[in-house]
DNA sequence: ATAATGAATTTTGTATGCAAATTCAAATCC
DNA sequence: GGATTTGAATTTGCATACAAAATTCATTAT
């Protein structure tokens, strides 16, 4: 019975963390931008205490930079950061893909196929925003498939840091086509439950993604 | 000139984060233990504000559990947590070992040899505490060697969660001997700058470590 | 004796207050 | 005119205050 579930009382600081995290990872606040506590407090209608707690958490996630006595800024993403993060994402997604092949239900894999078809539709239509979103959903679904909450959380934190960079990057038509094909191959490997191949393809896919982001 | 370096003004909450993190990862506070804010405030001589900010950060690192309106407890480590964390640590340390082989200076590798000899000395002497500490230092030195700050930070956060478990586990004499031998092999691979082999050996070493913790 | 009730106490979550540091700009000097 | 100084206005960091929730504990009812 749903009515017997514990009522989720969202704490203010928790809500603020989520709102701010979305704001930053979705790219609505440019990197390097100063975060004014007072202004944000008024915008959200909360006092400085929960806001500052949220900023500390986001700083530990690497989304904001805290400078003593100077407050918070949205963290910048350097080329070096991308060089650091992508090898880790490759390792993590490879690991997740391998586990997902072993653990995902057939139904979950069919759902992945639905997403893939949907994404190919966005590609055909040339809808970059929708493509990007479905792409994101596919990567997350594979991660969910590994059923390792720690891996999911670790990946999410790192992926969040570079999501903005991926938003901004506009792929060439050739690269876009290639990316869709890579995704198709990944899905075949998953449907065949070939863990090693899935891992390998995911790593290559991410490696290529890194190259398209290179400035 | 040292006198011209910026004076590092440690923020209170940052200091509290470090102190509390050590307290928990070193196992001085048992998992599940309730964290009383008032008591900790008095012990550290700080007010609740910086302490609570620190707790939020540690919660996002997975070291403490925050329950709405009920405060903080030291996070428990379940077998399932270990099953989740170790595969990730294997992937991360493998990645770090591979990079370290390519990037570490000869001097740094010689320093690693010093640590290895030191650790073998502790093994001969049967000094588990000292062995554990040097062991830790070796793993950290390899991580440092990869020169990937993001990888170092990600690894540190995950390793911190299971450090307590490793403290508690007492290896059998046979397993202890094997662990020392594994470390020797890892160092040979690093000295030969054989990245692939180093990665492989590190993953196996961690996999074995996981097995000794089981039960 | 045990369980249930509810008032007193403690603890938590958020807001506010205050001192120190930083920023910005007008005023000063070269 | 441009650089430098100085002081008011912000802004930050920490402490404290207060309301809501949870816990404790004595009291009552079964």
Per-residue model confidence as pLDDT tens digits over A67-105: 999 999 999 999 999 999 999 999 999 999 999 999 999
Mean pLDDT of B163-183: 88
Which residues 87-116 on A are within 7 A of strand C at the CB atom? Answer: none
Q: What is the CATH number of the domain that holds A6?
A: 1.10.10.10
Q: Which of B74, B91, B110 is the last residue of a domain?
A: B74
A131 and A91 in one domain?
yes
Query: pLDDT tens digits for A27-43?
Result: 899 999 999 999 999 99
pLDDT in tens, B66-114: 999 999 999 999 999 999 999 999 999 999 999 999 999 999 999 999 9
The verdict on A103 and A206 lying in the same domain is: yes
- Residue A161's closest chain B neighbor by CA? B150
Phi-psi region of A193 (alpha: psi -120 to 50; beta: other; left: phi over 0): left
pLDDT recorded at residue A52: 97
Task: Verify that B99 and B70 share a domain, yes or no.
Answer: no
Q: Which two tokens stand for residue A47?
A: 């006092």
Residues 6+ apart with CB under 8 A from B171: B179, B212
Indicate the residue among A45, A74, A103 that finishes a domain.
Answer: A74
Among A43, A59, A74, which residue terminates a domain? A74
Same structural domain for residues A156 and A193? yes
Residue B56: its chain A contacts at CB < 8 A? 13, 53-54, 56-57
- The whole-number pLDDT of residue B136 equals 93
pLDDT in tens, B95-107: 999 999 999 999 9
E strands along chain B, which residues?
34-35, 64-67, 71-74
Tally the domains of chain A: 2
Same domain, B24 and B117: no
CB-to-strand D contacts below 7 angstroms: A 34-38, 48-49, 52, 66-72; B 11-13, 46-50, 69-70
Residue in A60, A81, A150 closest to B85 by CB: A150
Cβ of B177 near strand C (under 7 Å)? The reply is no
- Same domain? For B127 and B206 the reply is yes
Structure tokens at A156: 């999410």
- pLDDT of B7 over the 60 cut: no
In the numeric block, which tokens belong to residue A198? 């899935």
pLDDT tens figures, B49-61: 999 999 999 999 9
Range of the domain at A29: 2-74
User: Which residues, at least 6 apart from A71, have a Cβ–Cβ distance to it below 8 Å?
Assistant: A34, A35, A36, A37
Are A62 and A88 found together in one domain? Answer: no
What is the tens place of the pLDDT at every residue in B9-36?
678 999 999 999 999 998 899 999 999 9
Is B179 found in the same domain as B86?
A: yes
User: What CATH number does residue B203 fall under?
Assistant: 1.20.120.530
Q: Are residues B46 and B145 in the same domain?
A: no
Whether A46 CB is under 7 Å from strand C = yes
B48 lies in the same domain as B118: no
Same domain membership, residue A117 and residue A70: no
Q: State residue A164's pLDDT score.
A: 81
Does residue A99 sit in the same domain as residue A127? Answer: yes
Chain B residues within an 8 Å CB radius of A9: 68-69
CB pairs under 8 A between A and B: 75
Collect the ranges in chain A with pLDDT lower than 50: 1-7
Query: What is the pLDDT, as a whole number, of residue B168?
Result: 65
The answer to whether the beta carbon of residue B66 comes closer than 7 angstroms to any atom of strand C is yes
């Amino acid at each position: 019975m749903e009515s017997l579930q514990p009522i989720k009382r969202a704490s203010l600081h928790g809500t603020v963390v989520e709102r701010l995290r979305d704001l930053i990872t979705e790219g609505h606040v440019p990197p390097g931008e100063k975060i004014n506590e007072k202004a944000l407090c008024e915008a959200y209608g909360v006092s400085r205490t929960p806001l500052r707690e949220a900023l500390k958490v986001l700083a530990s996630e690497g989304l904001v930079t805290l400078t003593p006595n100077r407050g918070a800024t949205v963290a910048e993403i350097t080329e070096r950061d991308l060089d650091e993060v992508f090898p880790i994402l490759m390792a993590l997604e490879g690991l997740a893909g391998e586990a997902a092949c072993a653990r995902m239900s057939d139904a979950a894999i069919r759902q992945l196929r639905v997403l893939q078809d949907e994404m190919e539709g966005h590609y055909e239509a040339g809808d970059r925003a929708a493509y990007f979103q479905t792409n994101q959903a596919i990567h997350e679904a594979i991660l969910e498939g590994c059923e390792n909450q720690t891996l999911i959380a670790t990946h999410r934190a790192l992926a969040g840091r570079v999501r903005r960079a991926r938003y901004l990057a506009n792929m060439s038509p050739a690269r876009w086509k290639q990316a869709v094909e890579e995704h198709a191959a990944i899905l075949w490997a998953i449907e065949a439950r070939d863990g090693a191949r899935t891992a390998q393809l995911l790593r290559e896919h991410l490696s290529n993604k890194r190259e398209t982001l290179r400035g």
